[in-house]
Amino acid sequence: MATYANVIFVFLTLTLSILCLCGLALTDEAHKGGFSLQLIHRDSPQSPFYDPTETPFQQLHNALQRSFKRVNHFYPNKKRPQKTPQSVMSLSHGEYLMKYSIGTPPFEVMGIADTGSDLVWLQCKPCEKCYNQTDPLFDPSKSSTYQPIYCHSKVRESLSQNGEASCHSGTDPNCEYSIAYGDGSYSNGTLAFETLTLSSTTGSSVAFPKIPIGCGVNNGGKFDPKGSGIVGLGKGSISLITKIGPSIDFKFSYCLLPNFESKTTSKLNFGKNAVVAGPGTVSTPIKHDPVDTFYVLKLEGISVGSKRIELVDDSTSNDDNGNIIIDTGTTLTFLPAKFYAKLESEVAAQIKLERVHNPEHILTLCYKSPPKKVIVAPPITAHFTGADVVLNPLNTFVSVSHDVICFAFAPVETNSIFGNMAQMNYLIGYDLVKKTVSFKPIDCTKM
């Protein structure tokens, strides 16, 4: 796997946080605290990325390839940065999308929903240099609520003290952002306050004024032309979750459909709709991480049936530290290589099927598909601090061809990731006040 360069990311400070909350006026629905959105898998017919010529196996192959590319974006060069937040993906590497509108009147955008990044950004007119986007570009000159962040403002003073913003010369120059991705892609443009509107599944809309956005006017690289930007759902200070936090009680949740079910969409919930409780619910603390963006948990071990394998990691011996990122943008689950080897050995010992080679040479533990592709396998339990999450075969095995099924975990030398396949058919809730992630087994097709 390739090694990626660090990401340069503009980070707004506490001063910006305070300014963004001033004059916050929300709809009645937002005040009530609960609403839900559609969360669209990129291979769903509702997605602009959908390719009807691809078979499900080709879609899966592409998703697995994206997983391996994405894993290195979290902490490039095998080192964890101490201060600089990162945007960890390019538009071609996301798995779920959401619709939102920007500006007044609202201009609809389809962006990648990413729990591994913070800034909301999109391409804007007039573009100095933009990648060829299929959908129309947002024109800030036609929005009555677009407000650039000027370098002479109090916000600029705080940013300049920390070297976090650049400015043009001249009168009332704009504050700029710059993002560089490990694959050579980049986005540069103006930081601004703008109204962001979310359309709920009930048909009503929820408007949030003065949300910091990046209006990209110089963008290029390996971006998919069907993409319209990123919606940062991380926990950093400028993420959408943080900015709308007071109105949603700093809670959100999602329920990912199994096997990329295309007849309906997954759900992304906010506020009261995001509460995860009731029988079967387990919760684990969100742990400390050098990068504020990421949701990091502590994985203590994994059981295969009744056989428990402990995860010993000297680098995270401190109870306050986590060792695995929970991420919607990565399909596979990645574990430390030595730990993975023990896990794979135990899974192989307990499954009595014919071993075969993966024709795609991506996953290492593969079997000849049993009749009707129903695999008899012991439950695999992920033991997070205070929370045992039982994974069923739909979370742990995937059909890579008509006659081959493989274990959906992989070894990694750098960063452990709890991927979206392991999260399917769980209602997963994030409470940023209690600093917990909760899991509740549920049939997501019935939500």
CATH of the domain at 180: 2.40.70.10
The pLDDT assigned to 315 comes to: 52
When divided into structural domains, the chain yields a total of 2
What is the DSSP pairing of strand 409-412 with strand 333-336?
Answer: parallel
Q: What is the pLDDT of residues 348-407, one digit of tens each?
A: 999 989 999 887 778 999 999 988 777 888 899 999 999 999 999 999 999 998 889 999
The pLDDT assigned to 156 comes to: 45
338 has a pLDDT exceeding 70? yes
More confident residue, 360 or 57: 57
The pLDDT assigned to 438 comes to: 98
The pLDDT assigned to 77 comes to: 46
Q: Are residues 61 and 158 in the same domain?
A: yes
Would 187 be classed as within a structural domain? yes
73 has a pLDDT exceeding 90? no
Catalytic positions: 114, 327
Q: Are residues 252 and 317 in the same domain?
A: no
Extract the tokens encoding 176: 């700029």
Would 9 be classed as within a structural domain? no
187 has a pLDDT exceeding 50? yes
Residues 17-30 have a mean pLDDT of 39
210 has a pLDDT exceeding 50? yes
The residues pairing with 412 across neighbouring beta strands, listed in sequence order, are 336
Would 328 be classed as within a structural domain? yes
The pLDDT assigned to 183 comes to: 65
Q: Which one of 235, 270, 305 terminates a domain? A: 270
436 has a pLDDT exceeding 60? yes
Would 3 be classed as within a structural domain? no
> Residues, the chain, total?
447
Would 6 be classed as within a structural domain? no
Q: Are residues 302 and 340 in the same domain?
A: yes
Q: Are residues 236 and 314 in the same domain?
A: no
The pLDDT assigned to 33 comes to: 63
Residue 195: name the closest of 205, 185, 182, 187 by CA: 205
Residues 235-248 have a mean pLDDT of 92
Q: What is the pLDDT of residues 280-333, one digit of tens each?
A: 999 999 998 888 889 999 999 999 999 999 998 655 455 678 999 999 989 999
Q: Are residues 236 and 336 in the same domain?
A: no
Residue 376: name the closest of 318, 440, 439, 305 by CA: 305
Would 165 be classed as within a structural domain? yes
82 has a pLDDT exceeding 60? no
91 has a pLDDT exceeding 50? no
Kindly state the percentage of the chain with pLDDT values over 90.
52
Q: Are residues 247 and 287 in the same domain?
A: no
Between 4-13, 27-36, 118-127, 160-169, the lowest mean confidence (pLDDT) is in: 4-13
More confident residue, 170 or 181: 181
Q: Are residues 257 and 110 in the same domain?
A: yes
The pLDDT assigned to 409 comes to: 97
pLDDT band at 45; cut points 50, 70, 90? confident
Average pLDDT, rounded, for the chain:
82
Q: Are residues 229 and 346 in the same domain?
A: no
Would 4 be classed as within a structural domain? no
The pLDDT assigned to 255 comes to: 96
Highest averaged pLDDT of the listed ranges 61-75, 152-166, 403-417: 403-417
Q: Which one of 224, 253, 270 terminates a domain? A: 270
Highest averaged pLDDT of the listed ranges 177-186, 202-211, 225-234: 202-211
* Burial annotation 371-388 (CB, 10 A radius, 16+ → b, else e): eeeebebbebbbbbeebe
Owning domain of residue 306 = 275-446
Would 166 be classed as within a structural domain? yes
Other Cβ atoms less than 10 A from the Cβ of 403: the count is 12
The pLDDT assigned to 339 comes to: 97
More confident residue, 360 or 250: 250
More confident residue, 276 or 59: 276
Q: Are residues 71 and 160 in the same domain?
A: yes
Which long-range contacts link 374-382 to residues 24+ away (Cβ below 8 Å)?
Answer: 375/351, 375/405, 376/351, 377/347, 377/350, 377/351, 378/304, 378/305, 378/350, 378/351, 379/303, 379/305, 380/302, 380/303, 380/304, 380/347, 381/302, 381/303, 382/299, 382/302, 382/418, 382/422
Q: Which one of 240, 270, 300 terminates a domain? A: 270
Q: Are residues 222 and 284 in the same domain?
A: no
More confident residue, 157 or 373: 373
Q: Are residues 420 and 382 in the same domain?
A: yes
Q: Are residues 280 and 207 in the same domain?
A: no
